[in-house]
Amino acid sequence: MTTEIVDIRSARAGDAHGLTRVHDEAWETAYRGLIPGIQLTKMIQRRGPVYWKKLAERRGSGLLVLAFDGTIAGYASFGPNRSRRVPVAGEIYELYLKPDYQGIGLGTRLFRAARQALGSAGLRGVCAWALDGNTMASAFYEARGGSAHAHGFERFGDTRLAKTAWTWPVRKN
């Protein structure tokens, strides 16, 4: 009998290489064919170990890692909502898992942990943006009770892609 251990915790500087691997693999899978290739490659290259180390070291960075049997398998970054069009206080900026770890409930656990951290920071209500062509992300947020609240566009070079803000209102106890 084997037991796998799932650990969700605040990121540490020593997680930088694992975070880089998650980011690169998840973004390649999610956005290849959606975001123009040159822009996607540049976006991925900007997020190397130095970026993740600095983010993890930043006090109050709002960065969680999900480790599965000691391997960094996912991350979520979050903080105050950046859009005035969405009437909630918190935002999940990014939530990604390595492709091999998707579809087995780990994303839901990471999502819940990020929402709990936002609530503990006094940021009530949550939003998360997803490119409309990223059907996996939209289905994930909808399956977790999110409502499509606002729409916008994101520019990648000469390409404009539609995006949707998914929201979860303040929980009533």
24 vs 167: CA distance, rounded Å: 26
Q: What is the pLDDT of residue 4?
A: 73
39 vs 45: CA distance, rounded Å: 10
Conformation bin of residue 108: beta by default, left when phi > 0, alpha when psi is -120 to 50: alpha
Model confidence at 173, in pLDDT bands (50, 70, 90)?
very low
Conformation bin of residue 60: beta by default, left when phi > 0, alpha when psi is -120 to 50: left
Mean pLDDT of the chain: 94
Model confidence at 147, in pLDDT bands (50, 70, 90)?
very high
Is residue 82 scored above 50 in pLDDT?
yes
pTM as predicted: 0.93
Is residue 170 scored above 90 in pLDDT?
no
Q: What is the pLDDT of residue 172?
A: 53
Location of structure tokens 């799932």:
6
Model confidence at 3, in pLDDT bands (50, 70, 90)?
low
Region 88-101: what's the mean pLDDT? 97
Q: Which residue has the higher pLDDT, 84 or 1?
A: 84
